[in-house]
Structure 1
Amino acid sequence: MVIEWRTTGDIQSDGQTPKRAAEYVRMSTDHQQYSTDNQATAIRAYAEKRGFEIVRTYADEGKSGLQIGGRDSLQQLLADIDGGNVDFEAILVYDVSRWGRFQDPDEAAYYELRCKRAGITVHYIAEQFENDGTIGSSIIKTVKRAMAGEYSRELSVKVFAGQCRLISLGYRQGGAPGFGFRRMLVDERGQHKGVLERGEHKSIATDRVVLVHGPEEEIATVREIYRLFVEDSSSERQIAEWLNGQGILSDLGREWTRGAVHQILINDKYAGHNVWGRTSFKLKNRHVRNDPSDWIRHDQAFPAIVSQELFDQARRIIEERSKRLTDDELLAMLSKILKKNGYLSGLIIDEFEDGPSSSAYQSRFGSLLRAYSLVGFIPDHDYRYIEINRALRRMHPSIVRDVIEGVRAIGGSAIQNLVDDTLTINDEITASIVIARCKLTRSGFRRWKIRLDESLRPDLTICVRMDEDNMTAHDFYVLPRMTLVEGVLRLADHNGLSLDAFRFDTLDGLFALAKRVPFRQAA
């Protein structure tokens, strides 16, 4: 929202003409207490004190600051500046976090730099520093930008952990209940409070949502779908046509499609299992299709509509369809789907008549992305990092073996804990091994993000930093526990003596630490 207006009076009491300014306000979804009205009030007080006349307002209400997408007013502000369509010389913002909680501090700096190049200064009116370009203000501003992004990262981790815990307890986390189910609101004691209709949400923090059976006619329809598929060998398309012929609408009030029937046949909730995390959209970055091993599930979380045996029979039929086809036949069919639709997605594949499901391609080729690449299709987004992460997970056991063999070669001992993959070295020191994927920033700088399992608390954490191609190890950090105060460690090429003192080009540095020497020699 962009508003043009002027404060009363064009001339200050001291006779000087006020400096013209625009204000940018944003109310985020995670900090509702910073309302746009409160920001505007503080900005006007600052403007009056500093001799600014506010001539235009750019407001993004209810918008997250994680990215510029969706923030129409900030985009309009930058477009006006780039196009020279401005009648002001300054932009007043409440604080650094209102400008944005960008995960890359350089992105926030880039948008401010576009303003500066046009001769327009940015004022953060609630901050304790002047944004005047001095070394001190630049350092503080950079730290503030990093803190703003880190707040969102920490909040994301906490929210995700809370969601995982609720799933493990059998509670529903978001999404429509699906045909045959309803969302039931329960209190902290598990007592039912009533069914939530479409579009309704819980309003009390301690309330939770569970799935319960819907109307009897929907339950009977779901069971008939499974019977037709398993016992009568009807295809998903035939079942959809039968449902539409009976005048039965889906849970969305629409006619049935092959894909809609297919989803009922493969969704674990119809066997009573609570499964969450098939995809993720953390920090509004990218939608990611997670590996099944990373899904969060609670079996028998709510009453099943079909038996586990019947559900497994349907699943086996679907899997057998793809097993009868060779890899070349599967890819030929995928090419046909691409040619017909001009695009590929899991939903498009599932809707294709008499073809295997998207999960079959994922199982056969390791991922949908690999199958896409084999038929020459490149998605709009770059999802190569998913493949890289999977490759690094496969690499982890070999690095663990290398460490064990290296320690033993110099006369020490190393025992692997098969539960959490930690190592006990020389019966004294515990060590954990993590692999960090290399990521290039927009400016071409290398960055590594290392996620640490805070529940392990090993004495040493061996961080393997991969090279730019993520094919071989670039170097190693052997970090003692005292250096790891947070669950996420972010590294650049140079990280200061406090961290780089623990950097090694090879694992020989670790082996030297583990080498046993006679007591007399050590003395």
Structure 2
Amino acid sequence: MVIRWLDTEGVNAQTEPPKARAAAYVRMSTDNQQFSTDNQLIAIQRYADGRGYEIVRTYADEGKSGLNVDGRPALQKLLADVENGRADFSILLVYDVSRLGRFQDPDEAALYELRCRRAGLEVHYCAEQFENDGSIGSSIIKTVKRAMAGEYSRELSVKVFAGQANLIRLGFRQGGAAGFGLRRMLVDQAGEEKGVLGPGQHKSIATDRVVLVRGPEDEIEIVRKVYRRFVDEGICESDIAEELNRQGVLTDLGRPWTRGSVHQLLINEKYIGNNVWARTSCKLKGAHVQNDPGEWIRADGVFPAIVPTELFEAAQAIIRQRSAKLSDDEMLKLLTEVLERNGYLSGLIIDEAEGAPSSSAFRTRFGSLLRAYTLVGFSPDHDYRYLETNRKLRALYPEIIQSIIDGVIQIGGEVARDPVTDLLRINREFTVSLVIVRCSKTASGTLRWKLRLDTKLKPDITVAVRMDSNNDNPRDYYLLPHFDLREAIYRLAEYNGLSLDAYRFDDLTYFYQMAARAQFKEAA
């Protein structure tokens, strides 16, 4: 008898059936390191191996809050791929229910799973103790889990707020610039001073704290002089601002004084040593609201006062008196006029408006600015703050372009400026266009910049000034050559890869080197 052995290399060889194709979605916020994306992927891979799934795609949102979907590009791309037919997988693997989101509305949390399932995907929660099979039991458990995830975020928000409020009451500073005449001092957990923090600097050790201390004596004297001019001599904020600007005095942000910046100096309690926080709030990624004074967190007398309390109170009395003679209707009429001129209302806009009571006067008269807004038909739900930012950047433009011209001239270069287009011709050799790029924040707090190039002028080089998160000062610079640019609009993140960040510079030193004239000895 002849035995025919199975040829494992031939056509009769048995092959394994193809594995089901799956995608993994992972998200990590900053609430707990044990749920890092790496740890999630390990658990998801173990689950896939046990079920015979092949993970062909991974969508990762790292450091992203689960309170909404706006700041989570990976989840948005996942949904777009699935619903537009670009998905090459039929299964979605997620670590647990909360990774899809800690939404305050459980129905919203269910929406994104529903969108995946309607597109034909199976959704598996790899670390949960139930099968997501559509049964009544699994549906009940998922609903409870989603509600628990939202409640976790709410409780965490309450705890964080309580912790910050406690630090305020202990006399520690929680964010924000120090202000003219003051400085931020870093102290350790024993209260020992470690050094003054400069603009943009932050503490790097969790146990360190920040307090306010006296600034240079010349700044302190200017603050006191502003109060005396306002109280004793009856000089208004606008005139004080003009006087300071004539003297060449700049604000703590290095900018000229305005009516609003002088007014803020006159009403801020930190100049008499009080620590006041939570004038505004933005909780759980909701709307930014101004709180009633009764909700502010405060600690009096915790910082060194640089203005006598009596002088400060006299200034507040004058500010209140300016609106005391106006009826409610007259005040609201003035507020309406401010709204019509600007298209938006904020405390800063009101304080800058000539002939109108201050924002604090409206807050005192009507209980809160929000109520005053409502009475004139303005809803801050629509965010027009970009208009205010754009006005600020337009005012900054001449200052920056003049500094570039001065810098080129200082290194021996030649500059011709087109009075209509502001196009700069350097050394009669190449042209330069200046673009100031406004910074905006996504819902998750990440920074974005939208760069729009001037395609009509076609400059040889575009100097793009990328502003910082508050749109107060330049963050960095992009020197973009025309021949390397293919698009009219570029959307920049904090890091953009070598294709764009190769043109990024911290300052304009390299640009000035390009514009410098080379010196040669005269030939005999």
Task: Tell me the TM-score normalized by structure 2.
Answer: 0.67
Distance 1:72 1:240, change over 3 A: farther
Equivalent residue, structure 2, for 1:182: 183
The aligned residue for residue 42 of structure 2 is: 41
TM-superposed deviation, 1:381: 5.6
Which secondary structure state, in structure 2, belongs to the residue aligned with residue 234 of structure 1? coil
Letter in structure 1 aligned against 2:369: L
Is 1:365 aligned with 2:370? no
CA distance in 1, matches of 2:379, 2:263: 25
**Deviations 1:130-181 (Å, cap 9, x if unpaired)?**
2111222222222222222222222222222222222222111222222222
5+ residue gaps, structure 1 = 1-12, 383-523
| Aligned: 1:58 with 2:59 | yes
* Structure 2 counterparts to residues 274-423 of structure 1, below 5 A: 274-380=275-381
Q: Is the 8 A contact 1:185 1:207 kept in 2?
A: yes
Shift of 1:294: 1.6
Query: Quick one: which amino acid aligns to residue 149 of structure 2?
Result: A
Aligned partner of 1:126: which letter? A
Distance in 2 separating the partners of 1:259 and 1:243: 13
Instruction: Provide the C-alpha distance between the structure 2 equivalents of 1:19 and 1:244, rounded to a whole number of angstroms.
Output: 71
- What is the alpha-carbon distance in structure 2 between the residues aligned to residue 243 and residue 84 of structure 1? 63
Call closer, same or farther: CA 1:19–1:127 in 2, change over 3 Å: same
Q: Which residue of 1 is the match for residue 87 of structure 2?
A: 86
Deviations 1:410-459 (A, max 9, x none): xxxxxxxxxxxxxxxxxxxxxxxxxxxxxxxxxxxxxxxxxxxxxxxxxx
Structure 1 residue aligned with 2:242? 241
| Structure 1 residues 304 and 210: alpha-carbon distance in aligned structure 2, compared to 1, 3 A threshold | same
The one-letter code sitting in structure 2 at the alignment partner of 1:66 is L
Q: Which runs of 5+ in 2 are unaligned?
A: 1-13, 384-524
Secondary structure at the residue paired with 1:282?
Answer: coil
Q: Deviations over 1:490-516 (max 9, x none)?
A: xxxxxxxxxxxxxxxxxxxxxxxxxxx
Letter in 2 for 1:238: D
Q: Deviations over 1:441-486 (max 9, x none)?
A: xxxxxxxxxxxxxxxxxxxxxxxxxxxxxxxxxxxxxxxxxxxxxx
Q: How far off its partner does 1:28 sit?
A: 0.5
Following TM superposition, by how much is the alpha carbon of 1:52 offset from its aligned partner in structure 2, in angstroms? 2.7
1:334 Cα deviation (Å)? 1.4
CA–CA distance in 2 between the matches of 1:280 and 1:351?
23
* Aligned amino acid, residue 164 of structure 2: Q
Aligned to 2:147: 146
Partner of 1:102: 103
SS in 1 for 2:35: coil
SS in 1 for 2:326: coil
- Report the number of matched residues: 370
Match of 1:126 in 2: 127
1:348-391 deviation digits (Å, cap 9, x = unpaired)? 11211231112212222233233223323233269xxxxxxxxx
TM-score in terms of structure 1 length: 0.67
Once the two structures are TM-superposed, the CA of residue 306 in structure 1 deviates from its matched residue by 0.4
Q: Distance in 1 between matches of 2:291 and 2:205?
A: 31
**SS of the residue 1:284 aligns to:** coil
**Separation in structure 1 between the aligned mates of residue 34 and residue 188 of structure 2, nearest angstrom:** 27
Match of 2:21 in 1: 20
Moved over 6 A (4+): none
Partner letter of residue 325 of structure 1? L
**Residue correspondence of structure 1 range 209-220 to structure 2 within 5 A:** 209-220=210-221
Question: Quick one: which amino acid aligns to residue 326 of structure 1?
Answer: S
**Residue type at the aligned position of 1:54:** I
Cα displacement (A) at 1:14: 5.6
Q: Which has the higher contact order (CA 8 A, sep 6+)?
A: 2
In the alignment, the residues of structure 2 paired with residue 183 and residue 255 of structure 1 have an alpha-carbon distance, to the nearest angstrom, of 22
Look up the equivalent residue of 1:52 and give its one-letter code.
Y
Cα distance between partner residues in 2 of 1:116 and 1:331: 52
Q: Residues 71-82 of structure 1: matches in 2 within 5 Å?
A: 71-82=72-83
Please say if residues 30 and 64 of structure 1, whose CA atoms lie closer than 8 Å, have aligned partners that are also in contact: no
Q: CA deviation at 1:269?
A: 0.6
Q: Per the alignment, do residues 364 and 151 of structure 1 end up closer, same or farther by CA in structure 2, a change over 3 Å counting?
A: same
Query: C-alpha separation between the residues in 1 aligned to 2:375 and 2:150?
Result: 37
Distance of 2:47 and 2:82 partners within structure 1: 22
Change (3 A) 1:82 1:242: farther
Deviation (angstroms), 1:287: 1.9
Q: CA deviation at 1:219?
A: 1.5
Deviation at 1:241?
2.1
Partner SS for 2:250: coil
Q: Deviation per CA, 1:63-103, whole angstroms, max 9, x where unpaired?
A: 11122221222223223333333332222222222211112
Cα distance in 2, alignment partners of residues 245 and 29 from structure 1: 48
Tell me if 1:70 matches 2:64: no
How far apart in 2 are the matches of 1:287 and 1:378?
Answer: 12
Shift of 1:323: 1.3
Cα offset, 1:292, TM superposition: 1.0
**Closer, same or farther in 2 for the Cα pair 1:199/1:306, shift >3 Å?**
same
**Which letter maps to 2:309?**
Q
Match of 2:284, SS state, is helix
Q: Is the 8 A contact 1:185 1:210 kept in 2?
A: yes
Mapped partners of 2:111, 2:254: distance in 1: 46
What does residue 441 of structure 1 align with?
none
Counterpart of 1:228 in structure 2 is: 229
Q: Distance in 1 between matches of 2:222 and 2:33?
A: 44
Structure-2 separation of matches of 1:234 and 1:292: 28
Paired with 1:162 and 1:103, the residues of 2 have a C-alpha distance of: 22
